[in-house]
Amino acid sequence: MRVENVGSTTRDFLALERNWLTHIRLVVLLSLLSSSILLRSRLSLSPNAPRDLPHSALPVGSLYFAGAVAVSIASIVQYRSRFRDFFSFKGFLRPSLAHTIVVTMVALLVFVTCVLLLIVRQSD
């Protein structure tokens, strides 16, 4: 299939690709966070840092993994939909509702984790 390069065709296509790659980077980050929480990876240089798994680590790590899976599914659906719209010469400036909900849930997950870590740190 061939699309004429008129107006902002190339710029729009590259923006679509850039957004998809950004979502993939978010998926990798969430997967790494999930793995590091579940495998008890620490960046502490203190030799007497606790090595046991906190009781909240398994649910939080699982939520990060679920977030990574949700973002990967949402990014694939978003990319395929926008790619189809691109070749049918439709405008695709607004994101889908499902994609917005998934990204909002991931942002809330990160915020709740920050609050949880602050509470745990203050109780020590």
Q: What is the pLDDT of residues 58-75, one digit of tens each?
A: 888 889 999 999 999 988
Q: Which pLDDT belongs to residue 73?
A: 92
CA 14 to chain centre: 20
Residue 51, SS3 per DSSP: coil
Question: Pick the residue with more confidence: 38 or 93?
Answer: 38
Q: What is the DSSP letter of 7?
A: T
Are 55 and 93 in contact by the 8 Å Cβ rule? The answer is no
Q: Which pLDDT belongs to residue 81?
A: 82
Residue 28 within any structural domain of the chain: yes
Residue 3 within any structural domain of the chain: no
CA of 92: how far to CAs of 25, 81, 86, 97, 105, in Å?
22, 9, 8, 13, 23
Question: Pick the residue with more confidence: 49 or 62?
Answer: 62
Residue 90 within any structural domain of the chain: yes
Residue 47 within any structural domain of the chain: no
Residue 1 within any structural domain of the chain: no
- Alpha carbon distance 52, 117 (integer Å): 16
Q: Which domain does 106 fall in, by range?
A: 9-41+54-123
Question: What's the total number of domains in the chain?
Answer: 1
- Comparing 22-26, 30-34, 98-102, which segment has the lowest mean pLDDT? 98-102
Phi first, then psi, for residue 82 (nearest 5°) are -70, -35
